[in-house]
């Protein structure tokens, strides 16, 4: 992206704040994990909210469908159609009104922590809901996998890309996950952005990737590698604002006009092959 682009400039300033919040905790406060974790979650909530229109809201909590519920999720983005729905005891989040769910982790190099994050995502992806909107990227009725709530893992540190692929494949082999449970995105400040779909052609850059690399199946995770951290954040926001929405979108997001990526290095991890 152009360095004189105001949106890119805002990403640089927000990156400064994210780096601060993800700095190593001072020894005096390492026993206070609750407040440290809450600060990270709130910081990421503020970052995401800055790139959404004011009619979206962000809450932390459990997502309820008609017959099930998710685990407690760090950052749940509510579409404009979601009712306020509060009681004297709680704020209630309904699956039909959720735009996306984001699980915030400081370091998923820790495989136990990564496995927990994947299970958080799984609890979201397993929720069934009715949705009627047409995506910016597709026409006609949405396929079943696009009706599910989009889910993201956001982390500062992560496994080497090949190790991450091997770990996720092993989780699937062990029966802990299926490809339907995988996150739509994994954002890592150290290794870039990953974007996944059962049909990657429905995601940004997916069709272009499949046209160039015909050996990959549609069930592929794209990896935007060798990108600067600010570009990684820009790619994340670009993917986020173009997710299939549970409410009808009347126009394309304004930010799309500012999101240009002339030089990208994209690799793939194929989950459709045995």
Helices marked H in 135-224 — which ranges? 144-147, 161-173, 206-212
Give 3-state DSSP helix, strand, coil % of the chain, rounded to 5: 35, 20, 40
For residue 71, is pLDDT > 70? yes
pLDDT grade for 132, boundaries at 50, 70 and 90: low
What is the arithmetic mean of pLDDT over 125-141?
69
pTM of the model: 0.92
Q: What is the pLDDT of residue 144?
A: 78
Domain ranges of the chain: 6-270
Per the listing, tokens 């400081």 go with: 106
What is the arithmetic mean of pLDDT over 48-63?
95
Cα-based angle 185, 110, 68 (whole degrees, multiple of 5): 55
For residue 78, is pLDDT > 80? yes
Residues 6 or more apart whose CB falls under 8 angstroms from that of 262 comprise none
Indicate the burial class of 171 (C-beta count within 10 angstroms; 0-12, 13-18, 19 or more): buried
Per the listing, tokens 């090949």 go with: 162
Q: What is the pLDDT of residue 136?
A: 46
What is the arithmetic mean of pLDDT over 140-168?
90
């Amino acid at each position: 992206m152009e360095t004189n682009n105001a949106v890119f400039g805002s990403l640089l300033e927000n990156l400064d704040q994210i780096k601060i919040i993800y700095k190593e905790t001072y020894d005096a406060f390492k026993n206070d994990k609750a407040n440290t974790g809450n600060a990270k979650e709130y910081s990421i909530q503020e970052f995401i909210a800055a790139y959404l229109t004011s009619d979206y809201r962000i809450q932390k909590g459990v997502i309820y469908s008609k017959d099930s519920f998710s685990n407690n999720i760090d950052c749940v983005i509510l579409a404009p159609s979601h009712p306020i729905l509060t009681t004297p005891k709680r704020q209630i989040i309904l699956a039909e009104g959720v735009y996306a769910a984001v699980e915030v982790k400081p370091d998923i190099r820790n495989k136990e922590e990564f496995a927990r994050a994947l299970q958080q995502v799984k609890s979201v992806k397993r929720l069934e809901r009715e949705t009627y909107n047409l995506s910016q990227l597709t026409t006609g009725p949405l396929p079943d996998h696009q009706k599910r709530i989009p889910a993201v893992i956001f982390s500062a540190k992560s496994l080497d890309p090949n190790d991450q692929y091997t770990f996720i494949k092993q989780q699937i082999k062990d029966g802990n996950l299926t490809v339907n449970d995988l996150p739509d995105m994994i954002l890592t400040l150290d290794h870039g952005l990953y974007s996944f779909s059962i049909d990657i052609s429905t995601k940004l850059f997916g069709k272009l990737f499949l046209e160039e690399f015909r050996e990959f199946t549609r069930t592929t995770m794209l990896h935007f590698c060798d990108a600067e951290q600010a570009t990684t954040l820009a790619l994340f926001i670009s993917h986020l604002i173009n997710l299939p929405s549970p409410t009808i979108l009347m126009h394309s997001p304004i930010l799309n006009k500012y999101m240009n990526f002339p030089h990208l290095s994209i690799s793939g991890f194929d989950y459709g092959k045995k």
